[in-house]
Amino acid sequence: MTEPRILATYHITSDAHHIEQRALGLAIEQSVECPLDAINDPAILDNILGRVEDIAELAPGRYAVQIGLAAATAPAEPGQLLNMLFGNSSIQPDIALADIALPNSYLEAFGGPRVGLAGLRARLGAPQRALTASALKPQGLSPDALASLAHRLASGGVDLIKDDHGIADQAFSPFAARAAAVGRAVRDANAKTGGRTLYAPHVSGTLDDMRRQLGIIRNEGIGALLVAPMIVGLANFHAIVNEAAGLVVVAHPAMAGAARIAPPLLLGRLFRLFGADITVFPNFGGRFAYSTDTCLELARAARQPWGELNACIPTPAGGIMLHRVNELLQFYGQDVMLLIGGSLLAAREQLTEQASRFVNKVADYGQR
């Protein structure tokens, strides 16, 4: 019984004379990784060796090559899947991993977002409108100072407050003290306003560290967590997703951007597959260089129907300003969470008011 293959699409710089050989080389590299004449066993040639399924020219000198990879080489372990999709080829500068199609068994094994868009909407009591987020910055602030910012943001009504991803477990705001202080501040603000603001502290380090931090999160009654999957390793990210059942998992793209894996695939599909409920990514026109096409494809990959997986909420970020809210909701639709960090914090003493303005603009867009 032949299992269905993983179909991986790569974009390769080459030319008409060499592309077939290059494609075969890629099929070998991402499977048996040795000269074919070193292989005695015909079953390996049939069942393990990658297969060139299609070659298409995207533009002069740029080709889309589809390789069928044997599922047997990549059991449902996220790191090994990444390894077999792109481990060695990541070192070859002429090639990028553009997209994948996975047999359903992977979707069942990995599970996707546990809470997802619908679950988060229910949790926030926001069935229709877009969602809002901000960030605690800058690192260096004490737990109490971060808690004060969080209280003011939550009082303004933002749906989610995350740590700046640079805040981890440093001496100036150790995880336990910060989680306690900020958790308490957000609870207080919610009690006063009737709001349901969530706090997502940044969980980092080894898998042991992340478990310890997750324990603190549960003890403090905190409802979410932020993780950088490419820093902690995809397998450990997925393990924490499993152990964080019931909590909202926010994925941050730190170290993801340079992987020469197309952002819609990595931050949209793969982070979603392994369990991100929310995927933060750099919006076009901000401090980063993603195009509008990339952003739209990323949002689509995160949200579109995919087997039985829940939708993941795309969260554009990175230099978004209040005056762009309508434009961005027009662009992404309302199944999105907009993240405004630094430019809200620049309001200083007016932080709560500015956060309210943000929240109202987003809510009002839904009312037009």
Positions in 135-194 near its own copies (CB under 8 A): 137-141, 145, 164-166, 168-172
Told to check if 342 binds its own copies by CB under 8 A, we report yes
Told to check if 335 binds its own copies by CB under 8 A, we report no
Told to check if 280 binds its own copies by CB under 8 A, we report no
Instruction: Give residues 215-254 in contact with its own copies (rule: CB under 8 A).
Output: 228, 231-236, 238-239, 253-254
Told to check if 35 binds its own copies by CB under 8 A, we report yes
Among 132, 204, 294, 315, interactor with its own copies by CB under 8 A: 204
Distance (Å, rounded) from C-alpha 119 to C-alpha 332? 20
Question: Smaller CB distance to its own copies: residue 83 or 356?
Answer: 83
Per residue, the 3-state secondary structure of 83-131, as one string, reads HHHHCCHHHCCCEEEEEEECCHHHHHHHCCCCCHHHHHHHHHCCCCCCE
Among 24, 55, 90, 357, interactor with its own copies by CB under 8 A: 90
Helix, strand, coil percentages in the chain from 3-state DSSP, rounded to 5? 45, 20, 35
Among 287, 327, 334, 353, interactor with its own copies by CB under 8 A: 287
Q: Is 78 helix (H, G, I), strand (E, B) or coil?
A: helix
Residue 288 burial by Cβ neighbours in a 10 Å radius (0-12, 13-18, 19+): middle
Q: Residues 6 or more apart from 339 whose CB is under 8 A from it? A: 132, 133, 134, 135, 162, 280, 315, 316, 317, 320
Strand ranges, E, within the chain = 6-13, 51-59, 62-69, 95-101, 131-136, 160-163, 198-200, 224-227, 248-251, 278-282, 313-317, 337-339
Question: Smaller CB distance to its own copies: residue 135 or 278?
Answer: 135
Question: Smaller CB distance to its own copies: residue 117 or 230?
Answer: 230
Question: Smaller CB distance to its own copies: residue 329 or 340?
Answer: 340
CB of 62 to its own copies, least distance (A): 17
Distance (Å, rounded) from C-alpha 193 to C-alpha 331? 31
CB of 88 to its own copies, least distance (A): 6
CB of 79 to its own copies, least distance (A): 4
Among 52, 84, 154, 161, interactor with its own copies by CB under 8 A: 84
CB of 125 to its own copies, least distance (A): 30
Distance (Å, rounded) from C-alpha 365 to C-alpha 368? 6
Which residue type does 68 have?
Answer: G
Distance (Å, rounded) from C-alpha 283 to C-alpha 266? 15
Q: What is the strand order of the sheet 62-69 is part of?
A: 51-59, 62-69, 6-13, 95-101
Stretch that binds its own copies, among 29-37, 217-225, 293-301, 322-330 (CB under 8 A): 29-37
Among 20, 77, 188, 335, interactor with its own copies by CB under 8 A: 77
Told to check if 345 binds its own copies by CB under 8 A, we report yes
In this structure, the strands spanning 51-59 and 62-69 are antiparallel
Told to check if 93 binds its own copies by CB under 8 A, we report yes
Q: Is 224 helix (H, G, I), strand (E, B) or coil?
A: strand
The answer to whether 263 touches 301, Cβ cutoff 8 Å, is: no
Told to check if 354 binds its own copies by CB under 8 A, we report no
Stretch that binds its own copies, among 31-39, 121-129, 179-187, 332-340 (CB under 8 A): 31-39
Q: Residues 6 or more apart from 239 whose CB is under 8 A from it? A: 207
Among 341, 359, 361, 362, interactor with its own copies by CB under 8 A: 341
CB of 52 to its own copies, least distance (A): 17
Instruction: Give residues 291-310 in contact with its own copies (rule: CB under 8 A).
Output: none
Q: At what angle do helices 175-193 and 207-219 cross, to 10 degrees?
A: 30
Please give the size of the binding site for its own copies, defined by CB under 8 A: 83
Told to check if 368 binds its own copies by CB under 8 A, we report no
Told to check if 99 binds its own copies by CB under 8 A, we report no
Question: Smaller CB distance to its own copies: residue 124 or 240?
Answer: 240
> For residue 10, what are the β-bridge partners?
65, 97
Question: Smaller CB distance to its own copies: residue 114 or 121?
Answer: 114
